[in-house]
Chains A and B, each alone.
Chain A
Amino acid sequence: MISNIQLIFDKENEGNQQNFVPKMEIDQTELDEILPASLLRKDLPIPNIPEINIVRHFIRLSNKNYGVDTGIYPLGSCTMKYNPKVNETIAKLPGFTRIHPLQEENQGCLELLYHISKQLGEITGMDGFTLQPAAGAHGELVGLLIMKKYFESKGIKKQKIIVPDSAHGTNPASAKMAGFSIIELISNEFGEIPLDQLEFAMQDGNVAGIMLTNPNTLGVFDRQIKEITRIVHENGGLCYYDGANLNPILGICRPRDMGFDIVHLNLHKTFSSPHGGGGPGSGPIGVVKELIPFLPIPCLISTEKGIVCRENDNKSIGRIKAFWGNFGVIVRAYAYILALGSEGLKKVGQIAVLNANYLRILLQQKYKLPYNRICQHEFVLSDQGIPNDITTEDIAKRILDYGIYAPTIYFPLVVPGALMIEPTETESKQSLDYFIEVMNKIYEETKQNPELLKNAPQNMPVKRLDAVLAARKPILHD
C-alpha cells in the first residue's frame, strides 16, 4: 500500500550539499591534532536533499494547515486575531535580527523594551513590568514566584493559592511549579466567584493569593471583582490577574483598578504577535509598586546614561530565562501598540465584544447557552440538547469540513460539552455570518443526517484520527 504520508526523510538523495557554507580560506590542522578520536562522531544520519525538494515538501505541508490568514479561527481564550504584515517586516530589520544579546551598542533594543513596559503599564495600570517570560504560563510561574518571594521577605509562610474551577489549566500547574498547593473554588450559576466561599477559603490563613481571569473563561465579567480583591487583600493575600482574556477590556478598564497586584499578558494574543503554531510567545508580568523589587533580572531603568539594568539587590526572584525574553515577539507587539495608539486599542476592546455578542445572540437561537448574559470577548455553548448522541467533538470536526477552524472544545470544564467561541475584532460581519450559517446548517444535520457529523471530517487531508492508539503505542519519530 502506498502511504498517504511522505516524510521528508523518504526523499533522501545522496547529493553534495554545500550551498550554505562560506569558503574555509584558512590553513587547516588535522582534526586528530585538535580532538581525540573518541570525541568524534562516526555517523550523521541526516539526509542530503536538493533545495527544490525541501521547498516543495514544505509548500505541500503548508497546504495541509489552517491559519488566521486562511479564515476565521474562533478558538476561545486564544484571541486568534489578524497578525499585521508590517510587524513581520519590522521584526526582520537587521538592526534587530543581527544584534547580539551581550553586545554593548544595544540602546535601540533596551529603549524598545523600556518603552513597551511603560505602555503596558498604562494599559493595565501596573507600576512595573518585566518582559522576560517567554509565554503566558512562564509569566504565571514568574508572578507566583514573586508572590512567594514577597511573603518570604516578610518572614511569612504561605503555601496555598486559590484557583477557580473555570481557570485555564496553566494556573494550577504554574502554582504547583512555584511550590504552592491549590484550593479550588466552584463558581456560581453566573460563572462568578461566590464571595462567601472566598471568605471561607481565605480564613485558612495559609493562602498567598488568588489567580483570576476576568472576564473569565465563560466570557463573563465578574461584577463583584472589587469585592473579591478586597476580601483577598483584607486577609493578607495578593491578587493575580491572568491576562489571557485582556483583549475585550483594552482601553475600557484596567486590572490594577480592579485591585490586582500582579498581571500577566500574552503579547501573542492581545497584542497581535502571531502564535506561530504554538509559539514563540511572550508573557510579560506587571506588578504594583511594592512588588517591583521582586521582578526577575535583568530589570531595566532609565538613567542619565540611557536605559540600563538595575543593580541586583537580592530581592529579585532571580533569572528566569537567558538574555532578554523573546525579543522578536516583543518587537511585533510594540509595533502594534504604536500603530493602534490610544483610540485604536479602545476600538479593539469594543469590537471584540461586539463581534462576540453578535455571534452569541444569533447562535443561541439553536444551541444551548448555559450562561446567557451579555458576554465580553467570548461565550460558551453546550452540546446538551443536541439529538442523536451527537457530541461537541462531532460538531467541531464537522465545522472543519466547511473550511473553517473549530472553537475550543470541552473547556471550560464547568460547562458540559463546551464549545468556547472567540471571534476577535478583526473578523468582518461577512465572516461572522458565514460562521453562523455553518453552525445553523450543522444544527440541521444533527437532526436530519447525524452520520455526517459522526463521520466528520470528510473534506480534510485525513479523517478523524485515533488518539487512543497514538497514546498507547507512542511513535514519536521515524
Chain B
Amino acid sequence: MDFIPHNDKTIAEMLDIIGVKSLQELFQDIPKDLIIEKLNLPSGLSEPDLLKQFEKITQKNKVYSSSFLGGGCYNHYIPSLVDFVTSRSEFYTSYTPYQAEASQGYLQAIYEYQTIISRLTQMDVANASMYDGSTALAEAAIMSTIITRKDTIILFKGIHPEYEEVVKTYCWGQNINIVYASEDNLIEKLNGDVAALLFQSPNFFGDIEDISKFAKNIREIVPNCLIIQAMTDPTCLGILNPPGLTDIDIFVAEGQSFGLGLSFGGPGLGIFTAKQKYLRKMPGRLIGKTTEINGEKTGFILTLQAREQHIRREKASSNICTNQALCALATLTYLLALGKTGLKEVATQNIQKAHYVKKELSKIPGYEILNKKPTYNEFLVKCPNIDSLINLCKQKDLQPPLKISSYYPEMKDIALVCVTEMNSKNSIDTFLEIARIVSNNKTEGE
C-alpha cells in the first residue's frame, strides 16, 4: 500500500516536462556508489492485513479493568468530546501556525489553552506547551540559571525519579551543578550560588508539600533564588491551592491527566507557567492576541518569537520547536468538558477514594502508611508481602500498585498506591480483600 496518487502515465508526462528520461535520473547528484538497490524490509501490507498485525501486537499487552498504578501516569476518565475535537483533521493535519491568517482556529484554541492554564494555576503566563513534565522541569532549571546568572540548582527530595534524571542530563549539558536537599538540611544547602530550588508537590511519594513554610527562609537567605514547583497529576488543582497563590516563580506539570490517556507514557504535555517578569526568558511558543494591521478585527498570532531558535539560532532561550500542540488542544477540551464543577468533583473523588483505601489499609495488620503529610491520590504503604499482593491483584484483573523498590532498591516491601475517580467501590473492595488475604497468610506463616 502507498499513498501516491500518480499512475505510470502521469509519471511519464511529468518526467517529460522536467526533461529527464527516468526517475533514476532525478538522483544524478547522488554519487553512484551511494545508491542502494533496495531496502531490506518486507513488502507492504494492505489495510486489513495491517490491522490484523496490530491486533496481534496489542494482544501481547494487558489491558486491566481497574488500576492502582500511578507514579507519574494516571488513569482518569476521558470525555468522548476530547477525541472528537482532536480528531478534527483541520487541527491534527496542520503544521505549526506560521501563516496566522490561515490558522486562526488553532491559534485561538492555544490562546484559550494558555488562558485556562493560567486560570487553573493562577500563574501569570503559560506557554503553548513543552514535550512533557520532565523536560518542562529541566528547561525551568536552565531558565533559572539564565535569569540569575548562577550555576547551581537544588533538587528537593520527592521529585519523580525519572524527572530528576532528566534534569540531571540537561544540567550536565550546560555545566549546571546539582545539589540534593531534604527538609532537614535545606537551609544549610542554600547559598549565593543557588539559582533555584526545584520541588514537586504532591511529590512522588504522595505528600502534599507546604512550601510556604520554607519560602520565607529561602527568600531571606538567597533573595533572588527561584522557587520551581513540578506536579505530575494536576487534577489536584480542582481542590488544592494553586501555585500562583503560593509565591512560586515557575510552575511546571505533566498534563497527561487532562484527557491524554495512558498511551504507554506518551505523548504527554509539558505545562509551563511563570511569573510575568520572567516572560522574555521563557522557552517555547507563545500565542498572543493582536489586531489586523488596519486595527479593525482581533486575531491571534505566534508572538515574542525573538526568543526562539528559528530567529535567534544559538542565542535562543531554548532549542524547542515542535511542541505538543494537539495535546494542549486535548487538555483545553478536557478542562472545558469537566468545567469548574466537574474538575472539583474529580479532585474530590480522587482524594476521598484514596483516603478511604489508605484508612482501610491501615486497619489491616501488617500494613503501615508511611506518609506523615497530607496526600492526594497516591500514598506509600509498607506491606507484609508485596510480591504476593501484586500477584493476587493481577489474578483479579487489577493493575497492581507500583513496587517502589523498582526506583529505590533500599525501599523494600513498599507500594505506591494510586486511587482515582476510576476506581469503583467494587475494585476497591477487591483490592482491600487481597490485602487482607496477604496479611492473613503472613500471620499464619509466622
Contact = CB atoms under 8 A, between A and B. Distances in A.
Contacts of B312: 169, 173
Interface residues of B, number: 202
B346 A21 contact: yes
Given A134-B267, A342-B41, A75 B95 contact: yes
Nearest to A81: B3
Which of B303, B304, B348 has the most chain A CB atoms inside 10 A of its CB?
Answer: B303
A9 B115 CA distance: 9
Contact of A47 (B132, B340, B421): B340
B8 to A, nearest CB: 12
B169 A296 contact: yes
Given A361-B18, A374-B28, A94 B288 contact: no
A173 to B, nearest CB: 4
21 contacts: A21-B421, A31-B351, A40-B239, A46-B116, A84-B3, A99-B62, A108-B58, A276-B326, A278-B97, A278-B325, A322-B268, A341-B42, A344-B1, A350-B23, A355-B14, A358-B17, A374-B20, A462-B100, A463-B294, A471-B303, A476-B289
B385 interface: no
A41 to B, nearest CB: 5
Interface string B260-286: 011111111000000000010000011
Contacts of A169: 308-313, 316, 321
B192 interface: no
Given A66-B103, A169-B316, A426-B3, A134 B341 contact: no
Contacts of A221: 27, 29-30
A342 B114 CA distance: 43
B105 A63 contact: yes
A462 B13 CA distance: 40
Nearest to B308: A169
A96 interface: yes
Given A36-B374, A135-B323, A145-B173, 17 more contacts: A5-B298, A26-B425, A34-B351, A44-B120, A55-B84, A68-B93, A86-B50, A96-B58, A169-B308, A169-B313, A170-B321, A173-B319, A176-B314, A277-B95, A279-B129, A345-B39, A474-B286
A323 B266 contact: yes
A448 interface: no
Contacts of B58: 93-96, 108
Contacts of A48: 339-342
A329 interface: yes
Interface in B365-411: 374, 399, 402, 406
A70 interface: yes
A358 B173 contact: no
B345 to A, nearest CB: 5
A220 B58 CA distance: 42
Nearest to A48: B339
A117 interface: no
Contacts of A67: 89-94
Contacts of A19: 79, 337, 342
Given A62-B88, A322-B166, A461-B104, A39 B240 contact: yes
A107 B105 contact: no
Given A148-B173, A277-B91, A465-B290, A98 B262 contact: yes
A105 B2 contact: no
A477 B324 CA distance: 19
Interface in B97-127: 97-106, 108-109, 111-112, 114-116, 118-120, 125-126
Contact of A108 (B60, B84, B300, B336): B60
Interface in B111-162: 111-112, 114-116, 118-120, 125-126, 128-129, 131-135, 142, 160, 162
Nearest to A353: B26
A177 to B, nearest CB: 5
Which of A39, A106, A429 has the most chain B CB atoms inside 10 A of its CB?
Answer: A39
A63 B105 CA distance: 7
B237 interface: yes
Nearest to B298: A5
Interface stretch (B70-78, B181-189, B218-226, B438-446): B70-78
A279 B424 CA distance: 34
Contacts of A64: 104-105, 108
A156 interface: no
Interface string A375-402: 0100000000000000000001100100
Which of A40, A140, A253, A321 has the most chain B CB atoms inside 10 A of its CB?
Answer: A321
A107 B264 CA distance: 11
Contacts of A346: 38-39
A462 B327 contact: no
B263 A253 contact: no
Contact of A278 (B96, B135, B241, B340): B96
